[in-house]
């Protein structure tokens, strides 16, 4: 008497077929959405990488990219968080976000740069995939979207004028206060953007800013070149706590606000240059 085949839930049956045939099954839109959601939350890291490899080699399938990203984006997110915490003592919102964006961009480039077959080295695809993610986090994490489009200065003598300028401190303070008032009450910001800027202003530099510092020899000390001439940075945790929102929510608000305000107040990048 033959034993009955074990029953598998539909999504596990899809995964089993994918792993068995090494081909992407023909699925409708709802089934593919269920499959990608399952792959995105899958805990088995080895199986996720194996499925990503199958999608990589089935590059011409219209659903291959969706499956590939569903398997690899969680890896990119965890790797970006890990690298940010290794490089920076307290990574800022922009640093973590830019590292993750760089990892995802590298994954997209990897998928489009499809090769016929990797070498016969053991776990070649796994090594290739993880190297690509690590490279992506450290290559593009310094790029800031809100600074795109700013034109370079043609007359380099402007820089010497900036360094040698001695504007009246009272005049500089008045201009700074007026600019801060205009930015904080800019009418074309959403309510949450305006609220964030007003909270930062209310906290003041003592509570809203912190010093950027780095590890030296395994200790949190200012002995490395990076710590010379440190500058103050926005304390995302303090501002998020004052607003009562998550750090990720604050990151998105900061990014959107920078783009809007830059476009209005400093489109050509010459706002702080001496006239």
Same domain, 16 and 47: yes
Same domain, 64 and 172: no
Using CA atoms, how far apart are residues 13 and 241, in angstroms rounded to an integer?
Answer: 45
Same domain, 19 and 135: yes
Using CA atoms, how far apart are residues 23 and 265, in angstroms rounded to an integer?
Answer: 53
Evaluate whether residue 203 is within a structural domain.
yes
Residue 128's pLDDT is 87
Residue 1's pLDDT is 42
Average pLDDT, the chain: 77
Note the pLDDT tens digit of each residue in 7-51.
567 888 888 888 888 888 888 888 888 888 888 888 888 889 999
Does residue 1 or residue 205 have the better pLDDT?
Answer: 205
Q: With beta carbons less than 8 A apart as the criterion, state whether 167 and 122 touch.
A: no
Alpha helices in the chain (DSSP H): 10-21, 29-40, 45-57, 64-87, 93-112, 124-139, 157-164, 169-184, 191-208, 236-243, 247-265
Evaluate whether residue 41 is within a structural domain.
yes
| Residue numbers of the domain that contains 109 | 10-144
Using CA atoms, how far apart are residues 108 and 49, in angstroms rounded to an integer?
Answer: 15
Same domain, 123 and 48: yes
Structural domains in the chain (count): 2
Highest mean pLDDT among 33-37, 157-161, 219-223: 33-37
Using CA atoms, how far apart are residues 194 and 94, in angstroms rounded to an integer?
Answer: 19
Question: What's the gap between Cα 76 and its chain centre?
Answer: 10
């Amino acid at each position: 008497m033959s034993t009955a085949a074990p029953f598998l839930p539909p999504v596990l049956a899809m995964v089993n077929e994918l792993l068995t045939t090494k081909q992407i099954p023909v699925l409708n839109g709802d089934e593919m959405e269920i499959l990608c959601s399952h792959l995105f939350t899958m805990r088995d890291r080895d199986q996720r990488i194996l499925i990503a490899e199958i999608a990589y080699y089935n590059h011409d399938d219209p659903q291959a990219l969706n499956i590939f990203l569903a398997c690899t984006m969680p890896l990119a997110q965890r790797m970006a968080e890990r690298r940010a915490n290794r490089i920076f003592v307290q990574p800022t919102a922009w640093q973590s976000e830019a590292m993750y964006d760089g990892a995802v961009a590298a994954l997209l480039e990897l998928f489009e740069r499809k090769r016929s077959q990797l070498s016969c080295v053991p776990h070649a695809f796994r090594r290739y995939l993880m190297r690509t993610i690590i490279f992506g986090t450290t290559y593009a994490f310094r790029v800031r979207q809100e600074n795109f489009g700013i034109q370079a200065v043609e007359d380099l003598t402007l820089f010497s004028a900036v360094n040698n300028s001695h504007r009246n401190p009272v005049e500089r303070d008045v201009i700074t206060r007026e600019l801060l008032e205009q930015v904080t009450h800019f009418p074309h910001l959403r309510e949450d953007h305006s609220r964030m800027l007003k909270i930062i202003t209310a906290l003041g530099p003592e509570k809203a800013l912190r010093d950027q510092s780095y590890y030296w020899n395994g200790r949190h000390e200012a002995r490395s070149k990076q710590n010379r001439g440190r500058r103050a940075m926005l304390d995302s945790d303090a501002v998020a706590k004052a607003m009562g929102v998550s750090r990720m929510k604050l990151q998105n608000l900061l990014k959107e606000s920078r783009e809007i305000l830059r476009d209005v107040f400093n489109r050509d990048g010459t706002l702080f240059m001496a006239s």
